[in-house]
């Protein structure tokens, strides 16, 4: 069974109460349930951290265990070169990493229009709420096919 790490960056632990008009009213536990309900046949591990170091450590772990990754880098998207380097190392090793966003950053403030992660990701899905995760999961399932 293919392993998939679903990694979430800072402030995503507050989903449900965080700016519900932007991110919706469902929390991470609801997302976990949605993903499990997909019954994708994949071994899925959903995590969240506010720490850049921890997120980078999880990418190193994913590389080590040849997992695929769905990554919502949250605000790190826009400025973390350290995270970018970890993603680049991971995808250069031939693994799939889908960058996802719940909102569409391009329809929001200008600082959100730039992602330092997208250029080293396998691909990007943004703007579909929690469906962004489910679309990424389907994509990984097909690629691992």
Q: Which residues bind ligand DQA (CB under 6 A)?
A: 11, 72, 74-75, 77, 101-103, 105, 112
DSSP state of 104: -
Least Cβ distance, residue 119 to ligand DQA (angstroms): 16
Contact between 48 and 12 (Cβ < 8 Å): yes
Closest to ligand DQA by CB, 2 vs 13, is: 13
For the question of residue 23 being annotated catalytic, the response is yes
Closest to ligand DQA by CB, 50 vs 144, is: 50
* Element (DSSP H or E) covering residue 5: strand 3-8
For the question of residue 79 being annotated catalytic, the response is no
How large is the C-alpha radius of gyration of the chain? Answer: 14
Candidate list 78, 79, 101, 113, residue with the active-site label: 101
Least Cβ distance, residue 102 to ligand DQA (angstroms): 4
| Calpha distance 92→96 (Å, rounded) | 9
Contact between 117 and 73 (Cβ < 8 Å): yes
Catalytic residue set: 23, 101
């Amino acid at each position: 069974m293919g392993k998939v790490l679903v990694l979430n960056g800072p402030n995503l632990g507050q989903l449900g109460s965080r700016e519900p008009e932007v991110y919706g009213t469902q929390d991470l536990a609801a997302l976990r349930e949605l993903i499990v309900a997909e019954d994708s046949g994949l071994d899925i591990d959903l995590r969240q951290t506010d720490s850049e170091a921890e997120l980078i450590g999880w990418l190193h772990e994913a590389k080590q265990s040849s997992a695929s990754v769905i990554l919502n880098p949250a605000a790190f998207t826009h400025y973390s070169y350290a995270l970018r380097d970890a993603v680049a190392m991971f995808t250069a090793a031939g693994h799939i990493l889908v960058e996802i966003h719940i909102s569409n950053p391009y329809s929001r403030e200008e600082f959100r229009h730039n992602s330092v992660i997208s250029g080293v990701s396998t691909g990007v899905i943004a703007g579909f709420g929690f469906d962004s995760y489910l679309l990424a999961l389907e994509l990984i399932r097909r690629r691992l096919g």
